Amino acid sequence: MARFTPDDELELLFDLKVIPHDIKQLLPEHLHMRPLASTDYTRNHLSVLSVLTQTPDPGPAAYLSRFQVLLSIPNTYYTIVIIDKRMDIIVAVGCVFMEHKFIRDLGIVGHIEDIAVDKKVQGAKLGLRIIQALTAISESRGAYKTILDCSTENIPFYVKCGYEVKGNEMAKYV
Ligand code: ACO
């Protein structure tokens, strides 16, 4: 069984302190919320994301290279994970990225993306904790609103997280 890797031994995507302490405190003792780390390829990150959509394995080098891209754009990508400390593996993930606009007095919008909870632990409020943390991060970064797109089936989940249906989603795939 893998040993839990403390935060200070990891290269993290953003400052730990950005995640509100009071939301971290709501997790059970064996779970830990932190920013994405450069070595999370080895902690089930892609496997957890695959409950959401196709997530082919690009290999460790390409994974690290994508992490470095996110890291190189400061104050923009806030990807968080929940780790099961007993196995040092990720069981839930989510991201909010900050869009800097000209409208609304140079307003900032938070876009929540790629929320996924490992099938084995769905229904245990981890999705809720991820959304609470991402919303708090978005608002603390100055967002006047935080938005997301989801399937009709997931609307009740986001309503429970405090979100409301607003507008329509449009898409054009290649
Ligand atoms: N329909 C109705 N209610 C739901 C649903 C649903 N599909 N999912 C969760 N809920 C309710 C729960 O019952 C709970 O209600 P309660 O407070 O009354 O008990 C509340 O919402 C919180 O649920 P959680 O336990 O936090 O949900 P979970 O940890 O399972 O996470 C999630 C929900 C993220 C949808 C998870 O099931 C998942 O990963 N699904 C597959 C991937 C996915 O669809 N991700 C979201 C894509 S949208 C995006 O990324 C922006």
Handedness of CA 127, 128, 132, 138 (dihedral sign): positive
158 C-alpha to center of ligand 1: Å?
7
Choosing from 46, 149, 154 the residue with most ligand 1 atoms within 8 A of its CB, the one to mutate for a pocket test is: 154
* Token representation of residue 21: 């302490």
Residues with CB under 6 A from ligand 1: 51-52, 112-117, 122-128, 148-150, 153-154, 156-157, 160
Q: ipTM above 0.90? A: yes
3-state secondary structure of 64: helix
Place of tokens 């229904």: 123
pLDDT at 157: 98
Instruction: Per-residue pLDDT tens, the chain, 174 aa: give them.
Output: 689 999 999 999 999 999 999 999 999 999 999 999 999 999 999 999 999 999 999 999 999 999 999 999 999 999 999 999 999 999 999 999 999 999 999 999 999 999 999 999 999 999 999 999 999 999 999 999 999 999 999 999 999 999 999 999 999 999
Strands 143-147 and 108-117: parallel
What is the rounded distance in angstroms from the CA atom of residue 131 to the CA atom of residue 96?
9
Residue type, 105: D
